[in-house]
Structure 1
Amino acid sequence: MSNRNFNINIDPDMIKRNLRKIILGLVIIIAAFSAIHTVGPEEEGVVIQMGKFNRTVQPGLNFTLPFGIEKMYKIPVQRQLKQEFGFRTTSSGQRSDYVKEGYQGESTMLTGDLNLTDVEWVVQYRIVDSYKYLFKVRNADKTLRDMSEAAMRKIVGNRTVNEVLTVGRQEVASSVEQLLQELCNEYENGIRVDQVVLQDVNPPDPVKPSFNAVNEAQQERETLINQAEAEYNRVIPRARGVAQETIELAEAFALNRVNRAEGEADRFNSLFEAYSKAPEVTKQRIYLETMEKVLPKLGNKVIVDEKGNNVLPLLNLNKKGGTEK
């Protein structure tokens, strides 16, 4: 077996040329990666040149100066963002999963009547000015979170626990939304608040049994009040109707008696005037009219003279016109 010697001749110039090509290719690739940017349809590109704002670019393929001379920040100006307080969403879908452990410090707050309550809420917002969002406020998202928590604590602190837990929930959310937008305008952070939603409001776990007992007592009180009002509405109108009917009957009776009395007085005055003019005639007429009314009401009649000596024939006064009544 024989040994063979191989001689390899390496050209230093060729190595240098190849190395330059490789380095040039790497530089071109790095420049391409650092200069070509794709802005999404919901985004807006903010270009920073040497640490200073230069321009904003629209969605699509955009170019910047390579090697860090210009940097681009992509801001989701067309997307609705949200921040959660007192809980975090671990998975979203038809049945979203939430986790609350570790976030009680955000949601536990004091009401105006010195009661603790656990308020979970969501702030939905949009970035409407990317320049202000990046340069007017340092870490605008963290600042928005701090402002949201401060606004919620202020609004809740001005209301009672019953208002926060029951009838005043919508008013609390609207007030927080208005106050938070005012703070965003004041800080000029380029954010517009779309909505503040109270996700859940409950008393803290240690006081839930006592709070539930108070709620049950209040509900029972409301039930008794409603029952009393229903009984009142049933009895009082009926009593008022009976009273009104009695009053109207009394007024009618009084009017009838007064009218009859006035009529009798007028009749008496008329008779008196007639009597004054012709006493004997009036006296005879009154006698005959009275007998005409009285006699038909009597039974069998026997007419005698003044001394009772002569009995006159029986007059059947129950007959009128030959027919017995």
Structure 2
Amino acid sequence: MPSQQDSGYRSDPWSNGNQPPPDLDKLISDGINRVKKSLPGGGGGSAGNILVILLVFLLGVGVWTSLFTVPSDSVAVVQRFGKYVKEIPPGLHFKFPLGIDKATIVPVKRQLKQEFGFATPGSTDPFQSGRGTNGQLETQMVTGDLNAALVEWVVQYRIADPVKFLFEVREPSETLRYVSESVMREVVGDRTVDEVITIGRQEIESEALVKMQALAVKYVMGISIDQVQLKNINPPRPVQESFNEVNQAQQEKEKLINEALRDYNKVIPLAEGEKDQRIREADGYRLKRINEAEGDAARFNALLSEYQKAPEVTRRRIYIETMQEVLPTIKSKIIIDEQTRGLLPFLNLTSESGAKP
């Protein structure tokens, strides 16, 4: 039956009662001595030391070249003696050392970009921006109306198929630059300089994206193009000042046209409304006069019909109705009997208020 000391040793290999842990350097030196004794020559010597050092060096190199780490946004494409073997997901992995296996890290989840006409400082991708004077030459384009323009743009893409990206096309990133420049020159060459600089930017981006995607599939580059975005578009520097003056004049023209349209939209609807109001008023007055005339004619015909039935009664009624309308408008009234033969006129010497003048 094992003692308590033995059980403690098994649970903790470095605790054997009160004894200290073993010396690792001593263990390694003992192991090297055993290897030396097992080599030809027995006790070692210079040849044995060289072999031991060589074995240790080869072991370290083997371990160092067999371990590799794949980042979280990438995959590793493994080749064995140059032949494709497999893809490895992110994490810590092993491969055959000493150049037998080669692992190429491909960032499949990272959005890459290529810049044309400018360069972002600190970029590590050699194909992200143009090299030397090519970065300026690739922006010089001729539009459809034979004008020159400096076009800067950005292509954003991802690596969709790592195997095709590595093995189907030589230098796929550089090929993408050539494809992008060719497509952009074609699209810009189909439009006038005014469309390129002002109103046609969105159409150019959409058409260039479609054509670049089609060529990427045709050339089997293993690339998925996500976006094409135009940046600065300017005329060449020798004519830039004149072009700015033309643009300023164009903007002033548009401003005056907009102001004239604003005044037109303000005055014309008001005049149209007044015209419609006058027409409706005249139409209403016309209908009123017609209805009044027709009513008077109908009233006269009705009176005529009644008059023909009883002339004396109708005449007297008309007289009374007329007097009812006239008498209230007369301030002073003198009523006399028709049988009176003598009437002495008198002068009213009092004012309207009844006081003497």
Q: Report if TM-score (shorter chain) is over 0.5.
A: yes
Structure 2 residue matching 1:53: 3-state secondary structure: strand
2:158 corresponding residue in structure 1 = 126
Alignment of 1:138-149 (within 5 A): 138-149=170-181
CA contact (8 A) 2:116 2:139 kept: yes
Structure 1 residue matching 2:120: 3-state secondary structure: strand
Tell me whether 180-189 or 132-141 shows the greater mean CA deviation: 180-189
1:244 corresponding residue in structure 2 = 276
Q: Please report how far the alpha carbon of residue 248 of structure 1 lies from its aligned counterpart in structure 2 after TM superposition.
A: 1.9
Distance 2:105 2:54 in 1: 30
Report the residue type matching 1:240 in the other structure: E
Distance 1:212 1:99 in 2: 28
- Change in Cα spacing, 1:110 to 1:301, as seen in structure 2 (3 Å) is same
1:89 corresponding residue in structure 2 = 120
Q: Does 1:43 align with 2:74?
A: yes
CA contact (8 A) 1:303 1:313 kept: no
- Change in Cα spacing, 1:282 to 1:37, as seen in structure 2 (3 Å) is closer
Q: Does 1:80 align with 2:128?
A: no
Distance 2:91 2:296 in 1: 111
Which of 69, 93, 98 is the equivalent residue of 2:100? 69
Q: Please report how far the alpha carbon of residue 294 of structure 1 lies from its aligned counterpart in structure 2 after TM superposition.
A: 4.8
CA contact (8 A) 2:79 2:101 kept: yes
- Structure 2 spans left out of the alignment, 5+ residues: 1-40, 124-128, 347-353
Which of 219, 228, 245 is the equivalent residue of 2:260? 228
Report the residue type matching 2:68 in the other structure: H
Alignment of 1:119-198 (within 5 A): 119-198=151-230
- Structure 1 spans left out of the alignment, 5+ residues: 1-10, 93-97, 316-323
Distance 2:132 2:281 in 1: 76
2:138 corresponding residue in structure 1 = 106
Measured against aligned partners, the alpha-carbon deviations of 1:37-63 in whole angstroms (never above 9, x if no partner) come to 333333322111222211122334433
Q: Please report how far the alpha carbon of residue 79 of structure 1 lies from its aligned counterpart in structure 2 after TM superposition.
A: 2.5
Tell me whether 244-253 or 178-187 shows the greater mean CA deviation: 178-187
CA contact (8 A) 1:120 1:198 kept: yes
Distance 1:34 1:101 in 2: 36
Report the residue type matching 2:309 in the other structure: K
1:209 corresponding residue in structure 2 = 241
Structure 2 residue matching 1:73: 3-state secondary structure: strand
Report the residue type matching 2:250 in the other structure: Q
Structure of greater relative contact order (alpha carbons < 8 Å, 6+ residues apart): 1
The structure in which a higher percent of residues are strand is: 1
Measured against aligned partners, the alpha-carbon deviations of 1:46-97 in whole angstroms (never above 9, x if no partner) come to 11122221112233443333443332222122322221111122347xxxxx
- Change in Cα spacing, 1:198 to 1:172, as seen in structure 2 (3 Å) is same
Distance 1:80 1:295 in 2: 104
Distance 1:209 1:115 in 2: 15
Fraction of identical pairs, as percent? 47
Q: Please report how far the alpha carbon of residue 24 of structure 1 lies from its aligned counterpart in structure 2 after TM superposition.
A: 4.3
Distance 1:289 1:15 in 2: 158
- Change in Cα spacing, 1:47 to 1:278, as seen in structure 2 (3 Å) is same
- Tell me the C-alpha RMSD between the 2 structures: 3.4
CA contact (8 A) 2:116 2:130 kept: no
- Change in Cα spacing, 1:300 to 1:25, as seen in structure 2 (3 Å) is closer
Report the residue type matching 2:227 in the other structure: Q
1:7 corresponding residue in structure 2 = none
Q: Please report how far the alpha carbon of residue 32 of structure 1 lies from its aligned counterpart in structure 2 after TM superposition.
A: 4.2
Q: Please report how far the alpha carbon of residue 251 of structure 1 lies from its aligned counterpart in structure 2 after TM superposition.
A: 1.6
1:264 corresponding residue in structure 2 = 296
Distance 2:338 2:97 in 1: 157
Distance 2:60 2:85 in 1: 25
Tell me whether 247-256 or 109-118 shows the greater mean CA deviation: 109-118
